[in-house]
Amino acid sequence: MQEDVLRSIAAFIKENDGFTVIAHTSPDGDTLGASLALYGTLKRMGKRAEIVCEQPVPHVYAFLPGADAICLPEQAVGMENAIAIDCADLARMGAAGRLFQAAKRTCNIDHHITNDSYAAFNAVDAEAAATGEIIAALAALLLPKIDDAIATCLYTALLTDTGNFAYSNTRPETLHTAADLLACGADNTEINRQIYRTVPFAKQKLLARALDHMELYCEGKLGISYVTLADFAETGAKEEDTEGMIDSVRDIEGVEAAAFLRETPSGSFKVSLRSKRFADVGAIAHALGGGGHKHAAGYTAFGPLQEAQAQALACCTDALREIWKEL
């Protein structure tokens, strides 16, 4: 990220008041951690601010400082300045997008390569491991010192979008930022316990269904699984409980690419894609109207389960065929 871009956004924040911070729909650790960190920064600066998300905070992230301040779009005031966090496009904001479009001044802070810089102020760094990495640099320009609450939010953003610093997007700069956040008071052990070591029983039951539904294709190089509305009803699990389940598919020995399909109440399927080394699942998702990164992406599929599975199988098979010699 070019420092002059961040400085211009820092100046924009210092010179104005009244901010609506928007996290993306189906919120994850990065959008929530980064949004809450910016919200906390604004409040510490004495700014009027609100933080909005189309959906409630998942239980796993309820421990984040300030999480109880997040409101739904219909509860929001809608302030003069809107800042979208971790949203590759306007659609990613869901119903909160109207607040962004109604604002007098807009800002877009993100790390997705597909982001088209849709705001008046744009800080888009596709090399950043997480949007939280960008917010950490911005907060350092706005505050004399990052406190433990903001550090906790930012560390969560980095931790979750790097798979506990295991994914290929983890750069030296990412670990330097993480070290700085630990020095500011983030508790690595406690954050890990909250996110990775505390699992609802219903989620484990749903995971058992997903594992039972899993199949391997392409000589074991492609794994596909799914959960249906019936699985949710019978296990008592929630939509948020599917987070991380695709990792159980991708992590199988020999698997290069993985797809996980989650049925929604509308009958469509949210499809998550992951790859280990070579497959560009981001290109697959983009071609099907979704988005994401090279090794982590997603899209929405329509039609019955069999059709959605067949589409994912065909697209992932084509992607694997292109890199077969590398596997």
Beta-carbon neighbour count of residue 141 at 10 Å?
15
Both tokens of 284, joined, read 């697959």
Q: What is the domain-level CATH number for residue 163?
A: 3.90.1640.10
- The number of domains in the chain is 2
pLDDT score recorded for residue 323: 87
Please check whether residues 61 and 178 belong to one and the same domain. yes
Please check whether residues 192 and 206 belong to one and the same domain. no
Q: What is the mean pLDDT of each run of 10 residues along the chain (327 residues)?
A: 90 98 97 98 98 97 98 98 97 97 98 94 97 98 98 98 94 98 98 96 98 97 98 97 96 97 96 95 94 93 96 96 79
Please check whether residues 189 and 218 belong to one and the same domain. no
The set of residues, in sequence order, having a beta carbon less than 8 Å from that of 80 and lying 6+ positions away, is 16, 17, 18, 103, 104, 105
Identify the residue whose tokens are 């888009």: 124
Q: Of 175, 196, 217, which closes a domain?
A: 196
pLDDT score recorded for residue 27: 97
Q: Of 139, 162, 196, which closes a domain?
A: 196
Please check whether residues 283 and 268 belong to one and the same domain. yes
pLDDT score recorded for residue 2: 77
> Mapping DSSP to helix (H, G, I), strand (E, B) and coil, where does residue 144 land?
coil
Please check whether residues 293 and 170 belong to one and the same domain. no
Please check whether residues 74 and 188 belong to one and the same domain. yes
pLDDT score recorded for residue 327: 66
3-state helix, strand and coil shares in percent for the chain, rounded to the nearest 5: 50, 15, 35
The set of residues, in sequence order, having a beta carbon less than 8 Å from that of 20 and lying 6+ positions away, is 49, 50, 51, 52, 76, 77, 78, 79, 81, 82, 83, 99, 100, 103
pLDDT score recorded for residue 97: 98
Domain residues for the domain of 65 are 3-196
Please check whether residues 229 and 188 belong to one and the same domain. no
Please check whether residues 131 and 233 belong to one and the same domain. no
Q: What is the domain-level CATH number for residue 276?
A: 3.10.310.30
Q: Are 282 and 321 in contact (CB under 8 A)?
A: no
pLDDT score recorded for residue 1: 62
| pTM score, whole prediction | 0.92
Q: Of 143, 174, 196, which closes a domain?
A: 196
Q: Are 4 and 137 in contact (CB under 8 A)?
A: no
> Mapping DSSP to helix (H, G, I), strand (E, B) and coil, where does residue 228 land?
coil
